[in-house]
Structure 1
Amino acid sequence: MNSKLKLFLPLMASLTLVAGCGAEQPIEEMAETTEETAAAADGFQEAREAAWLYVQEEEEWTEALEPKDRQTAEVSEVVASKYDEYTDKNFTGDEVLLVTFEREDIIAAKHVLVDPETNTVVGEMEGA
């Protein structure tokens, strides 16, 4: 009986370690998942997608951004300025969505203006 106990205790300790370690998720992954979930819940996912497709046309930004940046881009409502670059100048003075792709490891940020009604890109904001 003593030999069975000697085998049982290490086996149980091993199983406890394996089960306990398998359920853990790194803190960084949990933070990313939380950001993505929050971004998806704000209702601006279509605007993010339109801005992402627009940014993918520029080689320098295609290489700089990662796929997760598509879901975590910051979106805010702004009034379009006459100083912004537009594909359609009719948006000057109107409320548009500003989609910002920003990364800690990149000095600059990419700012894309999106029509909130159609979710189409209408321009860029320089130097914001």
Structure 2
Amino acid sequence: MIDAMLAPLYKWIILALLIFIAGYVLYCNSLAGDLRKAEQICSGRISAAVAPYIAAQDALQEEVKRADEALIEEQQRIKIEFRDIKHETQKIIERDVFRDCRLTPDSLQLAQRANEIANSSSNAGAVR
């Protein structure tokens, strides 16, 4: 009985529901557009706030890179100097005068003490 009374109104109920759904979809799309605009504004603010820190980080990375290059150059220079010193020392050791050198125990102790004093950072045992 109620079905019979509502039967002519079904098409109007369905039409009202479709209009309501279409309006709700349009409202959701407008909210999505507002959300996109707000996200772009926030992203711009964040990138503007972070930009000095990124620039400082890049500058520090460049400084570290230059320091690393300087360190490598210094290491190469030290290797070359060490090679030259080793070569000169080898030439001196291979001379006949030093190859056949025999030290007495007293002179050996004196030479070791001189070596220790020369290689130490302080001059505690140096003769004045």
TM over 0.5: no
Structure (1 or 2) with the greater helix fraction: 2
State TM-score, norm by structure 2.
Answer: 0.31
State TM-score, norm by structure 1.
Answer: 0.31
**Higher relative contact order structure (alpha carbons within 8 Å, sequence separation ≥ 6):** 1
